[in-house]
Chain A
Amino acid sequence: MSTEELIQELKANIIEVLNLEDVTPEQINSDEPLFEEGLGLDSIDALEMVVMLEKSYGIAVQDIEETKKAFASISALAAFVAENRTK
Chain B
Amino acid sequence: MSDRVPVVTGMGIVCASGSNKDAVWSSLMAGIPATRPLTILSSTRHGDAPVGEIREDLDTLCGKRLRGSRSDKLAYAAAIQALSQAGFSEGTVGDIGPRAGVVMGCTVGGELGTERVLANLMQRDIRRFGPLRYHECASSADLCATSFGCFGPTTTVSTACSGGAMAIAVAGEMVRDGVADLVIAGGSDSLCRLTVDGFGSLFLLDVDGTKPFDRDRAGINLGEGAGIVVIESRESAERRGASVLAVLSGWGTSCDAFHATAPESEGKGAELAMTKALHAAELQPEAISHINAHGTGTRDNDQVESRAIKRIFGSAIPPVLSTKGLFGHTLAASGAIDAVISIESLSRGGPPQSVGFREVDPEIGLAPVQESGSARQDHVLSNAFGFGGNNVSLILSHPDLLAAEKPVSVPLPEATQRGRLFVTGLGAVTHWGGTADALFEACSAEGAEPSPYDIGAPLTPGQTMAYHCAEAFGASEMIAPRRRRRLDRIQLMALVAAGGSCDADVLESVPGDRLCVAFGTGLGATAATAAFIEPLCENEEGLPSPQKFTNAVHNALASQVAIEHGARGLNSTMTHREVSFENALWHGAAELASGVADCAIVGAVDELTPYLLSAGKRWGWWGESSPKLLPLSDNLSGRQRALPGEGATAFCIMPEAHAESRLAELVCTATGRFFLTPEAHLDADREALWVEAILAEKGVSLDQIDLVLSGANGFAAVDDMYRAVVDALGARLGQSIRHGAYKHLCGEFQAASAFGMAVAVGLLTDRVSPSALLAPEGDCRVVVLYTLSESGTRAVTCIRRPEDGA
B681 at the interface (CB under 8 A from A): no
CB neighbours of A21 from chain B (8 A):
481, 485
Within 8 A of B (CB), among A36-62: 40, 42-44, 47-48, 50-51, 54-55
Given contacts A43-B262, A64-B203, contact A48 B547 (CB under 8 A): yes
Q: Is the CB of B545 within 8 A of A48?
A: yes
* Residue pair A20, B261 in contact (C-beta under 8 Å): no
Residue B127, interface by CB 8 Å: no
* Interface range, A side: 10 to 19
Q: Are A51 and B543 in contact (CB under 8 A)?
A: yes
Q: Which residue of A lies closest to B476 (CB)?
A: A21
B residues near A43, Cβ cutoff 8 Å: 261-262
Residue pair B550, A44 in contact (C-beta under 8 Å):
yes
CA distance A8 to B546 in the complex (A): 24
Q: Are B481 and A48 in contact (CB under 8 A)?
A: no
User: Beyond A22-B481, A42-B259, A64-B203, is A47–B547 a contact (Cβ under 8 Å)?
Assistant: yes
A18 close to B (CB within 8 Å): yes
Complex contact B259–A47 (CB within 8 A): no
Contact present for A22 and B482 (CB under 8 Å):
yes
Task: List residues 252-287 of chain B with CB under 8 A from any CB of chain A.
Answer: 259-262
Inter-chain contacts of B676 with A (CB < 8 A): none
Q: Please tell me if the beta carbons of A44 and B203 are within 8 angstroms of each other in the complex.
A: no
A51 to B201, CA, bound (A): 9
Contact of B486 with A19 in the complex, beta carbons under 8 Å: yes
B482–A47 contact, CB under 8 A? no
Q: A47 and B262 in contact (CB under 8 A), knowing A22-B481, A22-B482? A: no
The B interface is mostly helix, strand or loop, or mixed, namely: loop
Find residues 199-219 in chain B having any chain A CB closer than 8 Å to their own CB.
201-203
Which residues from B are CB-within-8-Å of A48? Answer: 545-547
Which of A19, A20, A44 is B546 in contact with, Cβ under 8 Å? A44
Cβ contacts A1-33/B at 8 Å (1 or 0 each)? 000000000000000001111100000000000
A42 to B259, CA, bound (A): 10
Are A20 and B545 in contact (CB-based, < 8 A)?
no
Contact of A19 among B485, B543, B544 (CB under 8 A): B485
Contacts of B260 in A (CB 8 A): 44
Given contacts A44-B260, A44-B261, A48-B546, contact A18 B485 (CB under 8 A): yes
Those of B451-493 within 8 Å (CB) of chain A: 481-482, 485-486
Pick from B481, B485, B546: contact of A47, CB under 8 Å: B546
Contacts of A54 in B (CB 8 A): 543
A70 → chain B closest CB, angstroms = 15
**How many Å lie between the Cα of A17 and that of B615 in the bound state?**
31
- Point out the residues of chain B lying under 8 angstroms from A40, CB to CB: 482
For A51, the chain B residues whose CB sits under 8 A away are: 201, 543-546
Q: Kindly list chain B residues whose C-beta atoms are within 8 Å of the C-beta of A20.
A: 485
Closest CB of chain A to B163's CB: distance in Å? 22
- Taking CB atoms and an 8 Å cut-off, the chain B residues in 497-556 that contact chain A are 543-547, 550
The interface centre, meaning the residue of B260, B261, B543, B546 with most chain A CB atoms within 10 A of its CB, is B546
Hey, which chain B residues are within 8 Å of A55, CB to CB? 543
Closest 7 CB pairs of A and B: A47-B546, A19-B485, A64-B203, A22-B481, A44-B547, A51-B543, A55-B543
Report A's interface with B, CB cutoff 8 A.
18-22, 40, 42-44, 47-48, 50-51, 54-55, 64
14 more CB-based (< 8 A) A-B contacts, given A19-B486, A22-B482, A47-B202: A20-B485, A21-B481, A21-B485, A22-B481, A40-B482, A42-B259, A43-B261, A43-B262, A44-B486, A44-B547, A47-B201, A47-B203, A48-B546, A51-B543
A sample of 6 cross-chain residue pairs with beta-carbon separation below 8 angstroms, ordered by A number, consists of A22-B482, A43-B262, A44-B261, A44-B550, A48-B545, A55-B543
